[in-house]
Amino acid sequence: MTITDLARELVSIPSHEDETAVGDAIEAWVSEQTDAAVTRDGVGNVIARRGSGPSVALVGHHDVVPPDDEQVGADGSYLVEERDGRLYGRGTADMKGAVAAMCHAFRDADPAGELVLASFVGEELGGEGARHAIERGFVPDHAVVAEGSTGYSAPGVTDVAVAHRGRRASTILAAGESAHASETGSGVNAIYRACDAVDVLRGLDAPETEVLGHAVSGSIAATEVEGGSAWNVIPDACTVTIDERTVPGERAALDQIEAVQGVSVRIDQDLPPMACDEPAFADAVLAAATDVQDGAPEQVVKPHATDAGWLADAGTTCLICGPAELGEAHTADESVGLDVMERCRAIYTSVAESWPA
């Protein structure tokens, strides 16, 4: 079974609500094709190990976002189509094409140390599978997370991401005292307090840092407002949603917002950023990427959070290298290049056979 054949099989299996069936397919393929020790944990993560010594993990996920109507067949399976050198369908780019490349590299490599294959569930839900595995001791020494890194430096070039931003979602909670709107002095307007809080938010510096010589910049913005119960009532509550893109080691100073009377900030989600902490590993993966393509790949920064953030936070030296291109994931015409899947297989194989150096 070629990489394309395996990718087609995995993509066709629905996995936006329940990842069990596609996890079964991955587990069965690895068990049949290798003599690795394959485990399936309580949430459905598939983890396989070969060799011994310091560990290098190839990490992906097999859940997907809900498909568009045109991506689902009459029998409920996902439609998969191959044309013009690309494979089309929900999950081709994010990221069953990469999982297929990982599986082939895991089978074919003669690893220098312990080679680990991990395909997680729940990545699209905030890294549920990765966190479950980490809480139970999954912390490999090094990891190549196979999220998309193609087309960052130049079209068609598979780069190596040495950092990515995280996402912290927060809510400003402004409390007031309700009153009739004709008696403004009798109440405390929570919307006004929320506005004062937003003024503080607008003055906060977005986080910035540097990873292996590359600038990583975050952002912070108010994105939703909700408050009030009627046109003639002074509101006693107002909330403002904050979207913050974080960077390794830095966060915006949200505590300054709480200096406004009657205002507090609640953290709703904090997806960690990632920074590769070992230049030699980043250079080795870049060298492997350089050897298998005509273009000149670069070390780049990825704009959004992945499971690499959870692994890096736990102590794994991580970076990202995968076939998906900018703008392909989560789209109605999602696709991945057949040649780039094969390219990534070669990269993963080379890393497995040469690292640890």
Q: Which domain holds residue 194?
A: 166-270
Q: Work out the widest C-alpha separation in the chain, in whole angstroms.
A: 78
Q: Using one digit for the tens of pLDDT, what is the confidence trace for 51-80?
A: 999 999 999 999 999 999 899 999 989 999
pLDDT in tens, 97-155: 999 999 999 999 999 999 999 999 999 999 999 999 999 999 999 999 999 999 999 99
Residue finishing a domain among 270, 301, 325? 270
From residue 284, give the alpha-carbon distance in Å to each of 85, 142, 236, 245, 347. Answer: 29, 12, 58, 29, 10
Mean pLDDT of 198-211: 95
In this structure, what CATH number is given to the domain that contains residue 59? Answer: 3.40.630.10
**pLDDT, the chain, mean:** 96
CB-neighbour burial class of residue 73 (10 A; exposed 0-12, middle 13-18, buried 19+): exposed
How would you class 208 by CB atoms within 10 Å of its CB: exposed for 0-12, middle for 13-18, buried for 19 or more? exposed
Residues 161 and 187 in one domain: no
pTM: 0.92
Examine the fold and report which residue of 223, 241, 270 is the final residue of a domain before the chain moves on. 270
| Alpha-carbon span 28 to 22, nearest angstrom | 10
Return the pLDDT at 357.
79
- The pair of structure tokens assigned to 297 is 């790949």
* Phi, psi angles (nearest 5°) of residue 257: -65, -35
Segment 175-199 mean pLDDT:
93
The total number of structural domains in the chain stands at 2
pLDDT at 29: 98
Nearest alpha-carbon partner for 130 in 46, 72, 188, 65: 46
Distances (CA, A) of 183 to 82, 189, 227, 231, 235: 67, 11, 19, 13, 12
Residue 320 shares a structural domain with residue 210 = no
Which residue's structure tokens are 């001791």?
137
